[in-house]
Protein backbone atom coordinates (compact mmCIF):
# COMPACT_ATOMS: atom_id res chain seq x y z
CA UNK A 1 0.00 0.00 0.00
CA UNK A 2 2.85 2.36 0.82
CA UNK A 3 4.41 1.65 -2.57
CA UNK A 4 1.13 2.50 -4.30
CA UNK A 5 0.93 5.89 -2.57
CA UNK A 6 4.62 6.53 -3.24
CA UNK A 7 4.24 5.89 -6.97
CA UNK A 8 1.12 8.07 -7.14
CA UNK A 9 2.98 10.92 -5.41
CA UNK A 10 5.85 10.64 -7.90
CA UNK A 11 3.41 10.63 -10.82
CA UNK A 12 1.56 13.62 -9.38
CA UNK A 13 4.82 15.53 -8.83
CA UNK A 14 5.94 14.79 -12.41
CA UNK A 15 2.55 15.88 -13.78
CA UNK A 16 2.69 19.11 -11.75
CA UNK A 17 6.18 19.90 -13.07
CA UNK A 18 5.05 19.23 -16.65
CA UNK A 19 2.02 21.48 -16.18
CA UNK A 20 4.22 24.28 -14.86
CA UNK A 21 6.57 23.96 -17.84
CA UNK A 22 3.67 23.96 -20.32
CA UNK A 23 2.04 26.95 -18.61
CA UNK A 24 5.34 28.85 -18.56
CA UNK A 25 5.90 28.10 -22.25
CA UNK A 26 2.40 29.32 -23.15
CA UNK A 27 2.92 32.56 -21.24
CA UNK A 28 6.29 33.14 -22.93
CA UNK A 29 4.82 32.49 -26.38
CA UNK A 30 1.93 34.87 -25.64
CA UNK A 31 4.24 37.73 -24.65
CA UNK A 32 6.71 37.11 -27.47
CA UNK A 33 3.95 37.07 -30.07
CA UNK A 34 2.23 40.21 -28.71
CA UNK A 35 2.56 43.01 -31.30
CA UNK A 36 5.21 45.55 -30.40
CA UNK A 37 4.34 49.25 -30.23
CA UNK A 38 6.74 50.79 -32.70
CA UNK A 39 6.71 54.48 -33.48
CA UNK A 40 3.35 55.38 -34.99
CA UNK A 41 1.69 52.16 -33.84
CA UNK A 42 -0.36 51.31 -30.83
CA UNK A 43 -2.33 53.26 -28.29
CA UNK A 44 0.57 55.21 -26.76
CA UNK A 45 2.63 58.02 -28.28
CA UNK A 46 5.08 60.64 -27.03
CA UNK A 47 6.46 63.79 -28.69
CA UNK A 48 7.70 67.23 -27.66
CA UNK A 49 7.41 66.54 -23.94
CA UNK A 50 3.83 65.25 -24.13
CA UNK A 51 2.66 61.67 -23.94
CA UNK A 52 -0.81 60.37 -24.65
CA UNK A 53 -2.74 57.15 -24.29
CA UNK A 54 -5.90 56.55 -26.29
CA UNK A 55 -8.71 54.05 -26.12
CA UNK A 56 -11.72 53.30 -28.30
CA UNK A 57 -14.90 51.80 -26.83
CA UNK A 58 -18.33 51.14 -28.35
CA UNK A 59 -20.71 54.07 -27.79
CA UNK A 60 -23.27 51.68 -26.28
CA UNK A 61 -21.12 51.54 -23.15
CA UNK A 62 -21.81 55.23 -22.46
CA UNK A 63 -25.58 54.92 -22.98
CA UNK A 64 -26.18 53.67 -19.42
CA UNK A 65 -25.47 57.02 -17.73
CA UNK A 66 -28.43 58.95 -16.40
CA UNK A 67 -28.99 62.31 -18.15
CA UNK A 68 -28.50 64.09 -14.81
CA UNK A 69 -25.14 62.42 -14.14
CA UNK A 70 -21.99 64.30 -15.29
CA UNK A 71 -21.34 61.55 -17.82
CA UNK A 72 -24.90 61.81 -19.18
CA UNK A 73 -24.30 65.17 -20.84
CA UNK A 74 -20.91 64.19 -22.22
CA UNK A 75 -20.46 65.37 -25.86
CA UNK A 76 -24.21 65.86 -26.29
CA UNK A 77 -26.29 62.75 -26.92
CA UNK A 78 -24.86 59.31 -27.50
CA UNK A 79 -25.03 58.77 -31.27
CA UNK A 80 -27.16 55.99 -32.69
CA UNK A 81 -26.04 53.45 -35.23
CA UNK A 82 -24.03 50.29 -35.22
CA UNK A 83 -20.61 51.79 -35.84
CA UNK A 84 -20.37 54.50 -33.20
CA UNK A 85 -17.31 54.50 -30.93
CA UNK A 86 -16.07 56.75 -28.14
CA UNK A 87 -12.45 57.88 -28.44
CA UNK A 88 -10.82 58.61 -25.07
CA UNK A 89 -7.43 60.33 -24.69
CA UNK A 90 -5.39 60.80 -21.53
CA UNK A 91 -2.61 63.39 -21.94
CA UNK A 92 0.43 63.75 -19.67
CA UNK A 93 3.55 65.86 -19.23
CA UNK A 94 6.33 63.44 -20.19
CA UNK A 95 8.85 64.85 -17.68
CA UNK A 96 6.68 65.03 -14.58
CA UNK A 97 4.00 62.47 -15.38
CA UNK A 98 1.36 65.05 -14.40
CA UNK A 99 -1.91 64.87 -16.25
CA UNK A 100 -2.48 67.76 -18.66
CA UNK A 101 -5.94 69.17 -18.06
CA UNK A 102 -5.68 72.61 -19.68
CA UNK A 103 -5.23 71.64 -23.33
CA UNK A 104 -7.40 72.01 -26.40
CA UNK A 105 -7.41 68.55 -27.98
CA UNK A 106 -8.72 67.52 -31.40
CA UNK A 107 -8.65 64.18 -33.20
CA UNK A 108 -8.95 63.19 -36.82
CA UNK A 109 -9.92 59.54 -37.32
CA UNK A 110 -9.33 58.23 -40.84
CA UNK A 111 -9.75 54.85 -42.45
CA UNK A 112 -6.91 53.46 -44.54
CA UNK A 113 -6.27 55.87 -47.43
CA UNK A 114 -9.14 58.17 -46.49
CA UNK A 115 -9.42 61.56 -44.80
CA UNK A 116 -11.79 61.28 -41.85
CA UNK A 117 -13.51 63.92 -39.78
CA UNK A 118 -11.68 66.07 -37.25
CA UNK A 119 -13.50 66.68 -33.96
CA UNK A 120 -12.85 68.58 -30.77
CA UNK A 121 -12.34 66.20 -27.85
CA UNK A 122 -14.27 67.48 -24.86
CA UNK A 123 -12.58 67.43 -21.46
CA UNK A 124 -14.22 64.90 -19.13
CA UNK A 125 -13.65 64.81 -15.40
CA UNK A 126 -13.74 61.18 -14.30
CA UNK A 127 -12.61 60.05 -10.84
CA UNK A 128 -10.95 63.41 -10.21
CA UNK A 129 -8.85 63.35 -13.39
CA UNK A 130 -9.33 64.92 -16.80
CA UNK A 131 -9.45 62.90 -19.99
CA UNK A 132 -10.68 64.03 -23.41
CA UNK A 133 -13.24 62.34 -25.63
CA UNK A 134 -15.62 62.40 -28.58
CA UNK A 135 -17.72 60.00 -30.65
CA UNK A 136 -16.59 58.75 -34.05
CA UNK A 137 -18.15 56.56 -36.71
CA UNK A 138 -15.96 53.54 -37.58
CA UNK A 139 -17.95 51.92 -40.40
CA UNK A 140 -15.51 49.24 -41.48
CA UNK A 141 -13.19 46.63 -40.09
CA UNK A 142 -10.07 48.57 -40.97
CA UNK A 143 -6.84 50.08 -39.77
CA UNK A 144 -7.57 53.63 -38.67
CA UNK A 145 -5.12 56.48 -38.35
CA UNK A 146 -5.84 58.78 -35.42
CA UNK A 147 -4.08 62.14 -35.36
CA UNK A 148 -4.36 63.74 -31.94
CA UNK A 149 -3.53 67.46 -31.89
CA UNK A 150 -2.78 69.01 -28.50
CA UNK A 151 -2.67 72.79 -28.10
CA UNK A 152 -1.48 74.26 -24.81
CA UNK A 153 -1.15 77.89 -23.81
CA UNK A 154 2.41 77.20 -22.55
CA UNK A 155 3.55 75.86 -25.94
CA UNK A 156 4.07 77.95 -29.06
CA UNK A 157 3.07 75.20 -31.49
CA UNK A 158 0.48 72.43 -31.30
CA UNK A 159 1.75 68.89 -30.88
CA UNK A 160 0.48 66.21 -33.26
CA UNK A 161 0.62 62.55 -32.27
CA UNK A 162 -0.24 59.84 -34.80
CA UNK A 163 -1.71 56.53 -33.66
CA UNK A 164 -2.70 53.41 -35.55
CA UNK A 165 -5.88 51.78 -34.29
CA UNK A 166 -6.57 48.24 -35.51
CA UNK A 167 -10.33 47.83 -35.76
CA UNK A 168 -10.21 44.68 -37.91
CA UNK A 169 -10.93 42.25 -35.06
CA UNK A 170 -13.97 44.00 -33.59
Q: What is the pLDDT of residues 104-114, one digit of tens each?
A: 999 999 988 88
What was the pLDDT predicted at 9?
Answer: 53
Question: Rounded to an integer, what distance in angstroms lies between the CA atom of residue 19 and that of residue 85?
Answer: 41
Name residues of the chain where pLDDT drops below 70. 1-41, 63-81
Alpha-carbon distance of 33 to 45, in angstroms, equals 21
Helix (H, G, I), strand (E, B) or coil at 37: coil
Give residue 76's pLDDT.
Answer: 60
Look at residue 65 in the predicted model and tell me its pLDDT: 57
Q: What is the DSSP letter of 15?
A: H
Q: Give pLDDT, residue 37.
A: 35
Q: Per the confidence metrics, is the pTM higher than 0.85?
A: no
Evaluate the CA torsion angle 59, 65, 67, 70 in order and state its sign.
negative
Amino acid sequence: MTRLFSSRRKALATCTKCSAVVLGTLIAVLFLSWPANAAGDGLYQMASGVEAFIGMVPAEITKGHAPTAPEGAMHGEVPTGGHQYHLIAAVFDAKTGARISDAAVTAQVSGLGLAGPEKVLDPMKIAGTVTYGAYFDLPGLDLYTIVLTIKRSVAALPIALTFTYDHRNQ
